[in-house]
Amino acid sequence: MKNLFTFTVIFFAMAQIGFAQGKSYYCPPCNNACDELVFDKPGKCPHCHMTLTDTKTDILNVKKMKIAFYLQDGVEVLDFAGPMEVFSYAGFEVFTVSKTKAPIKSQGILKIIPDYSIEDAPQADILAFFGGNASAASEDIQVTEWIKRQDKSLSYYFSVCTGVFILAKTGYLEGLTVTTFHESIESLRKQYPNLKVLDNVRFVDNGRIITTAGISAGIDGALHLVTKIKGAAMAKHIVEYMEYDKWKPGEGKIMD
Amino acid sequence: MKNLFTFTVIFFAMAQIGFAQGKSYYCPPCNNACDELVFDKPGKCPHCHMTLTDTKTDILNVKKMKIAFYLQDGVEVLDFAGPMEVFSYAGFEVFTVSKTKAPIKSQGILKIIPDYSIEDAPQADILAFFGGNASAASEDIQVTEWIKRQDKSLSYYFSVCTGVFILAKTGYLEGLTVTTFHESIESLRKQYPNLKVLDNVRFVDNGRIITTAGISAGIDGALHLVTKIKGAAMAKHIVEYMEYDKWKPGEGKIMD
Protein backbone atom coordinates (compact mmCIF):
# COMPACT_ATOMS: atom_id res chain seq x y z
CA MET A 1 0.00 0.00 0.00
CA LYS A 2 2.89 2.32 0.83
CA ASN A 3 4.39 1.70 -2.60
CA LEU A 4 1.07 2.33 -4.28
CA PHE A 5 0.71 5.60 -2.38
CA THR A 6 4.24 6.73 -3.36
CA PHE A 7 3.58 5.74 -6.97
CA THR A 8 0.30 7.66 -7.01
CA VAL A 9 1.83 10.79 -5.48
CA ILE A 10 4.77 10.82 -7.94
CA PHE A 11 2.59 10.31 -10.98
CA PHE A 12 -0.03 12.82 -9.98
CA ALA A 13 2.87 15.28 -9.62
CA MET A 14 4.11 14.29 -13.09
CA ALA A 15 0.57 14.68 -14.34
CA GLN A 16 0.41 18.27 -13.15
CA ILE A 17 3.72 19.14 -14.84
CA GLY A 18 2.59 17.55 -18.11
CA PHE A 19 -0.75 19.29 -17.98
CA ALA A 20 0.93 22.68 -17.48
CA GLN A 21 3.31 22.37 -20.43
CA GLY A 22 1.00 21.53 -23.35
CA LYS A 23 0.11 18.29 -25.07
CA SER A 24 -0.91 15.47 -22.78
CA TYR A 25 -0.63 11.70 -23.04
CA TYR A 26 -2.70 9.02 -21.36
CA CYS A 27 -2.56 5.35 -20.48
CA PRO A 28 -5.17 3.17 -22.23
CA PRO A 29 -7.69 1.89 -19.66
CA CYS A 30 -6.22 -1.12 -17.82
CA ASN A 31 -7.98 -1.08 -14.44
CA ASN A 32 -4.86 0.16 -12.65
CA ALA A 33 -4.13 3.43 -10.85
CA CYS A 34 -2.41 4.69 -14.00
CA ASP A 35 -5.77 4.94 -15.77
CA GLU A 36 -6.12 8.34 -14.10
CA LEU A 37 -2.66 9.73 -14.90
CA VAL A 38 -1.61 12.34 -17.45
CA PHE A 39 1.90 12.40 -18.96
CA ASP A 40 3.72 15.21 -20.75
CA LYS A 41 5.61 13.02 -23.23
CA PRO A 42 4.65 10.10 -25.48
CA GLY A 43 6.12 6.69 -24.66
CA LYS A 44 5.24 3.81 -22.38
CA CYS A 45 3.38 3.96 -19.09
CA PRO A 46 6.01 3.17 -16.41
CA HIS A 47 3.36 1.34 -14.38
CA CYS A 48 1.56 -0.95 -16.84
CA HIS A 49 4.01 -0.59 -19.77
CA MET A 50 1.27 0.10 -22.32
CA THR A 51 1.94 2.68 -25.05
CA LEU A 52 0.51 6.08 -24.11
CA THR A 53 -2.04 7.70 -26.41
CA ASP A 54 -2.97 11.35 -26.94
CA THR A 55 -6.65 10.57 -26.45
CA LYS A 56 -8.11 10.44 -22.98
CA THR A 57 -10.61 7.66 -22.43
CA ASP A 58 -13.36 8.49 -19.99
CA ILE A 59 -12.90 5.38 -17.86
CA LEU A 60 -16.03 6.05 -15.89
CA ASN A 61 -17.94 5.56 -19.11
CA VAL A 62 -16.01 2.47 -20.21
CA LYS A 63 -18.36 -0.39 -19.56
CA LYS A 64 -16.78 -3.14 -17.47
CA MET A 65 -17.50 -6.38 -19.32
CA LYS A 66 -19.20 -9.02 -17.20
CA ILE A 67 -18.23 -12.56 -18.07
CA ALA A 68 -20.01 -15.58 -16.61
CA PHE A 69 -17.90 -18.75 -16.42
CA TYR A 70 -20.32 -21.68 -16.47
CA LEU A 71 -18.54 -24.46 -14.52
CA GLN A 72 -20.09 -27.93 -14.48
CA ASP A 73 -19.00 -30.66 -12.09
CA GLY A 74 -15.95 -32.30 -13.69
CA VAL A 75 -14.88 -29.18 -15.63
CA GLU A 76 -11.28 -29.33 -16.90
CA VAL A 77 -9.10 -27.13 -14.72
CA LEU A 78 -6.89 -25.48 -17.36
CA ASP A 79 -9.86 -25.02 -19.73
CA PHE A 80 -11.29 -22.31 -17.50
CA ALA A 81 -8.25 -21.17 -15.48
CA GLY A 82 -6.28 -19.93 -18.50
CA PRO A 83 -9.13 -17.66 -19.71
CA MET A 84 -9.89 -16.61 -16.10
CA GLU A 85 -6.32 -15.35 -15.76
CA VAL A 86 -6.56 -13.47 -19.06
CA PHE A 87 -10.00 -11.90 -18.59
CA SER A 88 -9.29 -10.83 -15.01
CA TYR A 89 -6.17 -8.91 -16.13
CA ALA A 90 -8.21 -7.35 -18.93
CA GLY A 91 -10.31 -5.81 -16.17
CA PHE A 92 -13.42 -7.86 -16.91
CA GLU A 93 -15.75 -8.73 -14.05
CA VAL A 94 -15.47 -12.52 -13.91
CA PHE A 95 -17.92 -14.65 -11.94
CA THR A 96 -18.70 -18.36 -11.79
CA VAL A 97 -22.08 -19.99 -12.36
CA SER A 98 -23.12 -23.61 -12.04
CA LYS A 99 -26.39 -25.53 -12.18
CA THR A 100 -26.75 -25.06 -8.44
CA LYS A 101 -24.62 -23.43 -5.76
CA ALA A 102 -23.44 -26.80 -4.44
CA PRO A 103 -19.65 -27.22 -4.57
CA ILE A 104 -18.32 -28.87 -7.73
CA LYS A 105 -15.06 -30.70 -8.38
CA SER A 106 -12.82 -29.69 -11.26
CA GLN A 107 -10.55 -32.36 -12.78
CA GLY A 108 -11.70 -34.69 -9.99
CA ILE A 109 -9.44 -32.66 -7.69
CA LEU A 110 -10.27 -28.99 -7.12
CA LYS A 111 -13.34 -28.25 -4.97
CA ILE A 112 -15.03 -25.03 -6.12
CA ILE A 113 -17.95 -23.08 -4.66
CA PRO A 114 -19.83 -21.41 -7.57
CA ASP A 115 -20.74 -17.73 -7.11
CA TYR A 116 -24.20 -18.22 -8.57
CA SER A 117 -26.65 -20.85 -9.72
CA ILE A 118 -28.50 -20.53 -13.03
CA GLU A 119 -31.45 -19.36 -10.92
CA ASP A 120 -29.79 -16.22 -9.54
CA ALA A 121 -26.84 -15.42 -11.84
CA PRO A 122 -26.85 -11.81 -13.04
CA GLN A 123 -27.08 -10.98 -16.73
CA ALA A 124 -23.61 -11.22 -18.31
CA ASP A 125 -22.10 -9.59 -21.38
CA ILE A 126 -20.19 -12.77 -22.23
CA LEU A 127 -21.09 -16.40 -21.50
CA ALA A 128 -18.17 -18.84 -21.36
CA PHE A 129 -18.30 -22.65 -21.47
CA PHE A 130 -15.56 -25.21 -20.90
CA GLY A 131 -14.79 -28.89 -21.45
CA GLY A 132 -14.58 -31.73 -18.96
CA ASN A 133 -17.84 -33.60 -18.52
CA ALA A 134 -19.50 -31.04 -20.80
CA SER A 135 -22.08 -33.63 -21.89
CA ALA A 136 -23.84 -33.35 -18.51
CA ALA A 137 -24.44 -29.63 -19.08
CA SER A 138 -25.21 -29.98 -22.79
CA GLU A 139 -27.95 -32.52 -22.07
CA ASP A 140 -29.53 -30.43 -19.32
CA ILE A 141 -32.53 -28.56 -20.70
CA GLN A 142 -32.47 -26.11 -17.77
CA VAL A 143 -28.93 -25.05 -18.66
CA THR A 144 -29.91 -24.62 -22.32
CA GLU A 145 -32.93 -22.53 -21.31
CA TRP A 146 -30.72 -20.37 -19.04
CA ILE A 147 -28.41 -19.61 -21.98
CA LYS A 148 -31.43 -18.68 -24.13
CA ARG A 149 -32.74 -16.32 -21.44
CA GLN A 150 -29.36 -14.50 -21.42
CA ASP A 151 -29.05 -14.31 -25.20
CA LYS A 152 -30.81 -11.03 -25.96
CA SER A 153 -28.42 -8.90 -23.89
CA LEU A 154 -25.25 -10.84 -24.61
CA SER A 155 -22.32 -9.43 -26.56
CA TYR A 156 -20.30 -12.64 -26.98
CA TYR A 157 -20.29 -16.40 -26.53
CA PHE A 158 -16.97 -18.09 -25.76
CA SER A 159 -16.26 -21.82 -25.59
CA VAL A 160 -13.12 -23.83 -24.88
CA CYS A 161 -12.62 -27.51 -25.76
CA THR A 162 -15.83 -29.55 -25.55
CA GLY A 163 -17.64 -26.58 -24.00
CA VAL A 164 -18.86 -26.05 -27.59
CA PHE A 165 -21.30 -28.97 -27.11
CA ILE A 166 -23.15 -26.96 -24.44
CA LEU A 167 -23.48 -24.02 -26.82
CA ALA A 168 -24.43 -26.22 -29.79
CA LYS A 169 -27.50 -27.47 -27.92
CA THR A 170 -29.04 -23.98 -28.13
CA GLY A 171 -29.05 -24.13 -31.93
CA TYR A 172 -27.16 -20.83 -32.10
CA LEU A 173 -24.19 -22.46 -33.83
CA GLU A 174 -26.19 -23.82 -36.80
CA GLY A 175 -24.44 -22.96 -40.08
CA LEU A 176 -21.36 -21.59 -38.31
CA THR A 177 -17.72 -22.64 -38.48
CA VAL A 178 -16.40 -23.82 -35.11
CA THR A 179 -13.71 -25.91 -33.45
CA THR A 180 -13.29 -28.12 -30.38
CA PHE A 181 -10.94 -30.55 -28.56
CA HIS A 182 -8.99 -32.66 -31.08
CA GLU A 183 -10.49 -35.94 -29.86
CA SER A 184 -14.04 -34.58 -30.21
CA ILE A 185 -13.88 -33.14 -33.74
CA GLU A 186 -15.54 -36.22 -35.29
CA SER A 187 -18.28 -36.56 -32.71
CA LEU A 188 -19.19 -32.86 -33.05
CA ARG A 189 -19.41 -33.29 -36.84
CA LYS A 190 -21.64 -36.33 -36.46
CA GLN A 191 -23.88 -34.82 -33.79
CA TYR A 192 -24.27 -31.46 -35.56
CA PRO A 193 -23.96 -31.98 -39.34
CA ASN A 194 -24.90 -28.34 -40.03
CA LEU A 195 -21.74 -27.07 -38.33
CA LYS A 196 -18.47 -26.74 -40.19
CA VAL A 197 -16.00 -28.15 -37.64
CA LEU A 198 -12.36 -27.22 -38.29
CA ASP A 199 -9.41 -29.17 -36.95
CA ASN A 200 -5.84 -27.92 -36.51
CA VAL A 201 -6.93 -24.41 -35.65
CA ARG A 202 -6.40 -22.68 -32.29
CA PHE A 203 -9.74 -20.83 -32.34
CA VAL A 204 -12.55 -19.81 -34.70
CA ASP A 205 -14.11 -16.35 -34.45
CA ASN A 206 -17.59 -15.88 -35.94
CA GLY A 207 -17.90 -12.32 -34.68
CA ARG A 208 -20.23 -12.90 -31.76
CA ILE A 209 -19.29 -16.52 -31.13
CA ILE A 210 -15.70 -17.64 -30.48
CA THR A 211 -14.89 -21.34 -30.06
CA THR A 212 -11.43 -22.69 -29.27
CA ALA A 213 -9.58 -25.97 -29.56
CA GLY A 214 -8.72 -28.05 -26.49
CA ILE A 215 -7.52 -27.19 -22.99
CA SER A 216 -4.54 -24.80 -23.38
CA ALA A 217 -6.04 -23.21 -26.53
CA GLY A 218 -8.51 -21.38 -24.28
CA ILE A 219 -5.68 -18.99 -23.32
CA ASP A 220 -5.18 -18.01 -26.97
CA GLY A 221 -8.91 -17.65 -27.59
CA ALA A 222 -9.27 -15.41 -24.53
CA LEU A 223 -6.37 -13.24 -25.68
CA HIS A 224 -8.07 -12.95 -29.07
CA LEU A 225 -11.35 -11.84 -27.48
CA VAL A 226 -9.50 -9.29 -25.32
CA THR A 227 -7.82 -7.97 -28.47
CA LYS A 228 -11.25 -7.52 -30.10
CA ILE A 229 -12.75 -5.72 -27.11
CA LYS A 230 -9.85 -3.78 -25.59
CA GLY A 231 -7.23 -3.71 -28.33
CA ALA A 232 -3.89 -5.36 -29.08
CA ALA A 233 -1.96 -3.26 -26.54
CA MET A 234 -4.02 -4.69 -23.68
CA ALA A 235 -3.59 -8.27 -24.95
CA LYS A 236 0.17 -7.73 -25.30
CA HIS A 237 0.34 -6.29 -21.80
CA ILE A 238 -1.41 -9.38 -20.36
CA VAL A 239 0.86 -11.72 -22.34
CA GLU A 240 3.96 -10.01 -20.93
CA TYR A 241 2.56 -10.07 -17.41
CA MET A 242 1.69 -13.77 -17.49
CA GLU A 243 4.97 -14.61 -19.29
CA TYR A 244 3.15 -16.25 -22.20
CA ASP A 245 5.66 -15.17 -24.81
CA LYS A 246 4.71 -18.30 -26.74
CA TRP A 247 1.56 -16.45 -27.86
CA LYS A 248 1.21 -15.81 -31.58
CA PRO A 249 -1.52 -13.18 -32.14
CA GLY A 250 -4.17 -14.17 -34.66
CA GLU A 251 -3.26 -17.87 -34.59
CA GLY A 252 -6.83 -18.81 -35.38
CA LYS A 253 -9.48 -18.54 -38.09
CA ILE A 254 -11.41 -15.29 -38.25
CA MET A 255 -14.60 -15.65 -40.33
CA ASP A 256 -15.86 -12.82 -42.55
CA MET B 1 -19.04 -46.63 -19.99
CA LYS B 2 -20.29 -48.71 -22.93
CA ASN B 3 -17.42 -47.42 -25.08
CA LEU B 4 -14.91 -48.21 -22.36
CA PHE B 5 -16.30 -51.74 -22.07
CA THR B 6 -16.09 -52.30 -25.85
CA PHE B 7 -12.55 -50.91 -25.86
CA THR B 8 -11.51 -53.18 -23.02
CA VAL B 9 -13.02 -56.30 -24.60
CA ILE B 10 -11.37 -55.62 -27.99
CA PHE B 11 -7.97 -54.96 -26.50
CA PHE B 12 -8.02 -57.87 -24.13
CA ALA B 13 -8.85 -60.00 -27.20
CA MET B 14 -5.89 -58.39 -29.05
CA ALA B 15 -3.78 -59.02 -25.98
CA GLN B 16 -4.55 -62.75 -26.05
CA ILE B 17 -3.68 -63.00 -29.75
CA GLY B 18 -0.40 -61.16 -29.19
CA PHE B 19 0.46 -63.29 -26.19
CA ALA B 20 -0.14 -66.47 -28.17
CA GLN B 21 2.10 -65.53 -31.12
CA GLY B 22 5.39 -64.58 -29.46
CA LYS B 23 6.97 -61.27 -28.49
CA SER B 24 4.76 -58.91 -26.56
CA TYR B 25 4.59 -55.10 -26.36
CA TYR B 26 3.20 -52.94 -23.59
CA CYS B 27 1.98 -49.42 -22.99
CA PRO B 28 4.10 -47.37 -20.55
CA PRO B 29 2.11 -46.72 -17.34
CA CYS B 30 -0.31 -43.83 -17.90
CA ASN B 31 -3.13 -44.49 -15.43
CA ASN B 32 -5.50 -45.56 -18.18
CA ALA B 33 -7.10 -48.92 -18.95
CA CYS B 34 -4.36 -49.55 -21.52
CA ASP B 35 -1.80 -49.97 -18.73
CA GLU B 36 -3.03 -53.58 -18.50
CA LEU B 37 -2.97 -54.42 -22.22
CA VAL B 38 -0.53 -56.56 -24.20
CA PHE B 39 0.09 -56.02 -27.95
CA ASP B 40 1.61 -58.34 -30.53
CA LYS B 41 3.36 -55.64 -32.60
CA PRO B 42 5.49 -52.62 -31.77
CA GLY B 43 4.02 -49.16 -32.48
CA LYS B 44 1.75 -46.73 -30.70
CA CYS B 45 -0.96 -47.53 -28.17
CA PRO B 46 -4.25 -46.79 -29.97
CA HIS B 47 -5.74 -45.55 -26.70
CA CYS B 48 -3.14 -43.20 -25.19
CA HIS B 49 -0.88 -42.89 -28.27
CA MET B 50 2.32 -43.57 -26.32
CA THR B 51 5.03 -45.68 -27.95
CA LEU B 52 4.80 -49.32 -26.86
CA THR B 53 7.79 -50.94 -25.17
CA ASP B 54 8.87 -54.56 -24.92
CA THR B 55 9.24 -54.31 -21.14
CA LYS B 56 6.22 -54.82 -18.94
CA THR B 57 6.04 -52.43 -15.99
CA ASP B 58 4.45 -53.88 -12.91
CA ILE B 59 1.99 -51.02 -12.42
CA LEU B 60 0.90 -52.28 -9.04
CA ASN B 61 4.45 -51.64 -7.85
CA VAL B 62 4.81 -48.25 -9.54
CA LYS B 63 4.54 -45.75 -6.72
CA LYS B 64 1.88 -43.12 -7.37
CA MET B 65 3.52 -39.75 -6.64
CA LYS B 66 1.58 -37.66 -4.13
CA ILE B 67 1.81 -33.94 -4.79
CA ALA B 68 0.48 -31.38 -2.31
CA PHE B 69 -0.56 -28.05 -3.84
CA TYR B 70 -0.26 -25.43 -1.11
CA LEU B 71 -2.88 -22.78 -2.00
CA GLN B 72 -2.92 -19.55 0.01
CA ASP B 73 -5.78 -17.07 -0.13
CA GLY B 74 -5.17 -14.88 -3.21
CA VAL B 75 -3.23 -17.56 -5.10
CA GLU B 76 -2.88 -16.82 -8.83
CA VAL B 77 -5.26 -19.06 -10.76
CA LEU B 78 -3.06 -20.06 -13.72
CA ASP B 79 0.00 -20.52 -11.46
CA PHE B 80 -1.51 -23.65 -9.97
CA ALA B 81 -4.07 -24.72 -12.60
CA GLY B 82 -1.48 -25.30 -15.35
CA PRO B 83 0.62 -27.67 -13.20
CA MET B 84 -2.56 -29.29 -11.79
CA GLU B 85 -3.62 -30.19 -15.36
CA VAL B 86 -0.16 -31.59 -16.14
CA PHE B 87 0.38 -33.59 -12.93
CA SER B 88 -3.12 -35.06 -12.96
CA TYR B 89 -2.58 -36.45 -16.49
CA ALA B 90 0.79 -37.82 -15.37
CA GLY B 91 -1.19 -39.97 -12.95
CA PHE B 92 0.04 -38.19 -9.82
CA GLU B 93 -2.25 -38.00 -6.81
CA VAL B 94 -2.88 -34.27 -6.51
CA PHE B 95 -4.43 -32.72 -3.40
CA THR B 96 -4.79 -29.18 -2.09
CA VAL B 97 -3.60 -27.88 1.28
CA SER B 98 -4.07 -24.47 2.86
CA LYS B 99 -3.36 -22.93 6.25
CA THR B 100 -6.83 -23.96 7.38
CA LYS B 101 -9.74 -25.70 5.70
CA ALA B 102 -11.67 -22.45 5.32
CA PRO B 103 -12.50 -21.59 1.69
CA ILE B 104 -9.96 -19.37 -0.05
CA LYS B 105 -10.33 -17.11 -3.08
CA SER B 106 -7.99 -17.44 -6.03
CA GLN B 107 -7.36 -14.34 -8.17
CA GLY B 108 -10.04 -12.59 -6.13
CA ILE B 109 -12.58 -14.66 -8.08
CA LEU B 110 -12.51 -18.44 -7.66
CA LYS B 111 -13.76 -19.82 -4.33
CA ILE B 112 -11.88 -23.01 -3.43
CA ILE B 113 -12.36 -25.46 -0.55
CA PRO B 114 -8.94 -26.91 0.38
CA ASP B 115 -8.75 -30.69 0.84
CA TYR B 116 -6.56 -30.39 3.92
CA SER B 117 -5.14 -27.91 6.39
CA ILE B 118 -1.46 -27.97 7.39
CA GLU B 119 -2.65 -29.75 10.55
CA ASP B 120 -4.03 -32.84 8.80
CA ALA B 121 -2.44 -32.97 5.32
CA PRO B 122 -0.90 -36.36 4.56
CA GLN B 123 2.82 -36.68 3.84
CA ALA B 124 3.47 -35.84 0.17
CA ASP B 125 6.26 -36.82 -2.21
CA ILE B 126 6.25 -33.36 -3.79
CA LEU B 127 5.36 -30.00 -2.24
CA ALA B 128 4.26 -27.29 -4.68
CA PHE B 129 3.97 -23.54 -4.05
CA PHE B 130 2.48 -20.80 -6.19
CA GLY B 131 2.41 -17.01 -6.53
CA GLY B 132 -0.35 -14.55 -5.79
CA ASN B 133 -0.19 -13.13 -2.27
CA ALA B 134 2.69 -15.52 -1.54
CA SER B 135 4.07 -13.11 1.07
CA ALA B 136 1.27 -14.06 3.47
CA ALA B 137 2.38 -17.70 3.41
CA SER B 138 6.10 -16.92 3.35
CA GLU B 139 5.77 -14.83 6.53
CA ASP B 140 3.73 -17.45 8.37
CA ILE B 141 6.02 -19.43 10.69
CA GLN B 142 3.44 -22.24 10.95
CA VAL B 143 3.57 -22.77 7.19
CA THR B 144 7.39 -22.78 7.24
CA GLU B 145 7.36 -25.32 10.08
CA TRP B 146 4.88 -27.52 8.17
CA ILE B 147 7.25 -27.58 5.17
CA LYS B 148 10.15 -28.54 7.44
CA ARG B 149 8.13 -31.39 8.98
CA GLN B 150 7.50 -32.81 5.48
CA ASP B 151 11.10 -32.42 4.30
CA LYS B 152 12.61 -35.72 5.37
CA SER B 153 10.28 -37.85 3.24
CA LEU B 154 9.99 -35.47 0.27
CA SER B 155 11.32 -36.28 -3.19
CA TYR B 156 10.88 -32.83 -4.77
CA TYR B 157 10.02 -29.19 -4.15
CA PHE B 158 8.31 -27.26 -6.94
CA SER B 159 7.54 -23.55 -7.05
CA VAL B 160 5.87 -21.31 -9.63
CA CYS B 161 6.19 -17.53 -9.80
CA THR B 162 6.53 -15.89 -6.36
CA GLY B 163 5.82 -19.24 -4.68
CA VAL B 164 9.62 -19.38 -4.39
CA PHE B 165 9.43 -16.86 -1.51
CA ILE B 166 7.53 -19.43 0.58
CA LEU B 167 10.24 -22.02 -0.06
CA ALA B 168 13.08 -19.53 0.50
CA LYS B 169 11.89 -18.91 4.06
CA THR B 170 12.84 -22.49 5.00
CA GLY B 171 16.49 -21.80 4.19
CA TYR B 172 16.56 -24.82 1.85
CA LEU B 173 17.35 -22.63 -1.16
CA GLU B 174 20.54 -21.10 0.28
CA GLY B 175 23.36 -21.28 -2.26
CA LEU B 176 21.06 -22.53 -5.04
CA THR B 177 20.23 -21.07 -8.43
CA VAL B 178 16.53 -20.24 -8.77
CA THR B 179 14.05 -18.12 -10.71
CA THR B 180 10.74 -16.33 -10.10
CA PHE B 181 8.14 -13.94 -11.61
CA HIS B 182 9.87 -11.29 -13.76
CA GLU B 183 8.69 -8.39 -11.58
CA SER B 184 10.04 -10.09 -8.41
CA ILE B 185 13.56 -10.98 -9.55
CA GLU B 186 15.12 -7.93 -7.88
CA SER B 187 13.25 -8.25 -4.60
CA LEU B 188 14.21 -11.96 -4.33
CA ARG B 189 17.86 -11.02 -4.91
CA LYS B 190 17.71 -8.33 -2.23
CA GLN B 191 15.85 -10.45 0.31
CA TYR B 192 18.03 -13.55 -0.21
CA PRO B 193 21.53 -12.47 -1.27
CA ASN B 194 22.82 -16.05 -1.04
CA LEU B 195 20.56 -17.19 -3.90
CA LYS B 196 21.59 -16.88 -7.53
CA VAL B 197 18.39 -15.59 -9.13
CA LEU B 198 18.24 -16.00 -12.90
CA ASP B 199 16.00 -13.92 -15.17
CA ASN B 200 14.89 -14.81 -18.68
CA VAL B 201 14.70 -18.53 -17.94
CA ARG B 202 11.54 -20.64 -17.94
CA PHE B 203 12.59 -22.84 -14.99
CA VAL B 204 15.65 -23.82 -12.98
CA ASP B 205 16.18 -27.43 -11.90
CA ASN B 206 18.51 -28.08 -8.95
CA GLY B 207 17.77 -31.79 -8.86
CA ARG B 208 15.44 -31.90 -5.88
CA ILE B 209 14.20 -28.31 -6.13
CA ILE B 210 12.59 -26.90 -9.28
CA THR B 211 11.58 -23.22 -9.45
CA THR B 212 9.82 -21.63 -12.41
CA ALA B 213 9.30 -18.15 -13.79
CA GLY B 214 5.89 -16.43 -13.65
CA ILE B 215 2.33 -17.66 -14.13
CA SER B 216 2.24 -19.61 -17.43
CA ALA B 217 5.83 -20.90 -16.91
CA GLY B 218 4.45 -23.30 -14.30
CA ILE B 219 3.12 -25.46 -17.15
CA ASP B 220 6.63 -25.86 -18.58
CA GLY B 221 8.16 -26.54 -15.17
CA ALA B 222 5.54 -29.20 -14.47
CA LEU B 223 6.19 -30.86 -17.83
CA HIS B 224 9.90 -30.86 -16.99
CA LEU B 225 9.29 -32.54 -13.64
CA VAL B 226 7.05 -35.15 -15.29
CA THR B 227 9.83 -35.81 -17.80
CA LYS B 228 12.27 -36.42 -14.92
CA ILE B 229 9.94 -38.76 -13.05
CA LYS B 230 8.00 -40.58 -15.80
CA GLY B 231 10.01 -39.95 -18.95
CA ALA B 232 9.75 -37.86 -22.10
CA ALA B 233 7.08 -40.08 -23.68
CA MET B 234 4.65 -39.29 -20.84
CA ALA B 235 5.36 -35.54 -21.06
CA LYS B 236 4.87 -35.61 -24.83
CA HIS B 237 1.61 -37.49 -24.41
CA ILE B 238 0.31 -34.85 -21.97
CA VAL B 239 1.41 -32.02 -24.26
CA GLU B 240 -0.51 -33.55 -27.17
CA TYR B 241 -3.57 -34.15 -25.03
CA MET B 242 -3.71 -30.60 -23.69
CA GLU B 243 -2.85 -29.15 -27.13
CA TYR B 244 0.20 -27.32 -25.79
CA ASP B 245 2.24 -27.74 -28.96
CA LYS B 246 4.00 -24.50 -28.03
CA TRP B 247 6.03 -26.52 -25.51
CA LYS B 248 9.77 -26.64 -26.10
CA PRO B 249 11.28 -29.46 -23.97
CA GLY B 250 14.23 -28.43 -21.84
CA GLU B 251 13.52 -24.71 -22.18
CA GLY B 252 15.06 -24.05 -18.76
CA LYS B 253 18.33 -24.24 -16.87
CA ILE B 254 19.32 -27.64 -15.49
CA MET B 255 22.05 -27.34 -12.86
CA ASP B 256 24.81 -29.96 -12.54
CATH code at B139?
3.40.50.880
Do residue A55 and residue A91 come from a single domain? no
Reported as a single tens digit per residue, the pLDDT across A41-93 is 888 777 666 677 877 665 544 568 999 999 999 999 999 999 999 999 999 99
- CA dist B94 → B29, B65, B91, B234 (Å): 17, 8, 9, 17
The Cα B127–Cα B70 span in angstroms is 7
Phi, psi of A178 (to 5 degrees): -140, 175
Question: Which range, of A51-65, A131-145, B69-83, B214-228, averages the lowest pLDDT?
Answer: A51-65
Question: Which residues of B lie closer than 8 Å to A, measured between beta carbons?
Answer: 76-78, 81-82, 84-85, 88, 94-96, 103, 107-115, 181-182, 213-217, 219, 241-244, 246
Q: Domain boundary residue among A61, A76, A97?
A: A61
Q: Domain boundary residue among B38, B60, B82?
A: B60
Three-class SS state of B152: coil
What is the least distance, in Å, from the CA of A219 to any CA of chain B?
10
Do residue A106 and residue A179 come from a single domain? yes
Task: Give B203's pLDDT tier (boundaries 50, 70, 90).
Answer: very high
Partner residue facing B112 (CB), from A78, A112, A219: A112
Residue contact A77–B81, C-beta within 8 A: yes
Partner residue facing A215 (CB), from B78, B109, B243: B243
Do residue B241 and residue B187 come from a single domain? yes
Do residue B22 and residue B73 come from a single domain? no
The Cα B11–Cα A250 span in angstroms is 42
Reported as a single tens digit per residue, the pLDDT across A126-165 is 999 999 999 999 999 999 999 999 999 999 999 999 999 9
Give the model's pLDDT for residue B27: 75
Do residue A166 and residue A215 come from a single domain? yes
Best of B76, B113, B216, B219 to disrupt the A interface by mutation (most A CBs within 10 Å)? B216
The number of distinct structural domains making up chain A is 2
Other beta carbons within 10 Å of B150: 20
Do residue A94 and residue A181 come from a single domain? yes
Which residues on chain A are in Cβ contact (under 8 Å) with B160? Answer: none
DSSP state letters, B46-114 = TTT-PBPBSS---GGGSPPPEEEEE--TT--HHHHHHHHHHHHHTT-EEEEEESSSS-EEETTTEEEE-
Give the model's pLDDT for residue A7: 47
Do residue A183 and residue A235 come from a single domain? yes
Phi, psi of B208 (to 5 degrees): -95, -20
What is the least distance, in Å, from the CA of B114 to any CA of chain A?
7
Please provide the size of chain A in residues: 256
Q: How far is CA A59 from the centre of its chain?
A: 19
Residue contact A110–B84, C-beta within 8 A: yes
The Cα B204–Cα B219 span in angstroms is 13
Residue contact B109–A96, C-beta within 8 A: yes
Residue among B33, B87, B98 at smallest CA distance from B64:
B87
Residues pairing with B204 in the sheet = B211, B253
Do residue A214 and residue A121 come from a single domain? yes
Mean pLDDT (chain A, rounded):
88
Contacts of A91 (CB under 8 A, 6+ apart): A29, A30, A31, A64, A230
pLDDT at B8 over 70: no
Burial (CB count <10 Å: 0-12, 13-18, 19+), residue B64: exposed
Which residues on chain A are in Cβ contact (under 8 Å) with B216? Answer: 219, 242-244, 246
Residue contact A108–B88, C-beta within 8 A: yes
Count CB pairs under 8 A between chains A and B: 101
Do residue A233 and residue A107 come from a single domain? yes
Do residue A38 and residue A91 come from a single domain? no
What is the least distance, in Å, from the CA of B10 to any CA of chain A?
20
The Cα A200–Cα A185 span in angstroms is 10
ipTM: 0.82
Which residues on chain B are in Cβ contact (under 8 Å) with A181? Answer: 243
Reported as a single tens digit per residue, the pLDDT across B149-167 is 999 999 999 999 999 999 9
Residue contact B243–A88, C-beta within 8 A: no
Q: Domain boundary residue among B43, B60, B77?
A: B60
Phi, psi of A22 (to 5 degrees): 145, -125
Going through A125-201 in order, the beta strands assigned E by DSSP cover: 126-129, 156-159, 177-178, 196-197
What is the least distance, in Å, from the CA of A2 to any CA of chain B?
15
Q: How far is CA A101 from the centre of its chain?
A: 23
The residue segments making up the domain with residue A236 are 66-254
Partner residue facing B84 (CB), from A107, A114, A219: A107
The Cα A86–Cα A247 span in angstroms is 12
Do residue B153 and residue B209 come from a single domain? yes
Quick one: angle between helices B232-241 and B77-89, nearest 10? Answer: 120
Do residue A116 and residue A33 come from a single domain? no
Reported as a single tens digit per residue, the pLDDT across A165-221 is 999 999 999 999 999 999 999 999 999 999 999 999 999 999 999 999 999 999 999
What is the least distance, in Å, from the CA of B19 to any CA of chain A?
30
